[in-house]
Amino acid sequence: MSAGRYLSVLFCALAVILPMRCACAEDAPTACATTLECLQAAYDIDMNASARYLAYAKQAEKEDYSTVASLFKATAFAEEIHAKRYARLIEKMGG
């Protein structure tokens, strides 16, 4: 793949990924009764986002956009890292 094509695909992928990441924030509750509930909501949102990004990666691979698929996979991995951090905090707080 040429450098120009690579950058074009990269920018298109980012144009798709970044708004989706922001959209996840809309799923968050505006108020939680407890911090533990907020952490659980954040965990759920990030795990759902991870699954969604993996599904997007699978579709990109089907369409032979391996670079885009890699970006979706990396984003899914990042969401899993966030979720694991929340899970550790939830456990420490007795949840």
pLDDT exceeds cutoff 60 at 23: no
What integer pLDDT is reported at residue 31 of this predicted model?
77
Q: For position 75, what pLDDT does the model report?
A: 96
Collapsed DSSP state (helix, strand, coil) of residue 89 = helix
Q: Are 86 and 38 in contact (CB under 8 A)?
A: no
For residue 58, what are the contacts with CB-CB under 8 A and spacing of at least 6? 69
pLDDT above 60 (res 21): no
- What mean pLDDT comes out for the span 11-25? 56
Note whether 61 and 69 are within 8 A (CB).
Answer: yes
CA–CA gap between residue 80 and residue 51 (Å, rounded): 9
Rounded average pLDDT over 66-93: 96
> Quick one: tokens of 22?
């922001």
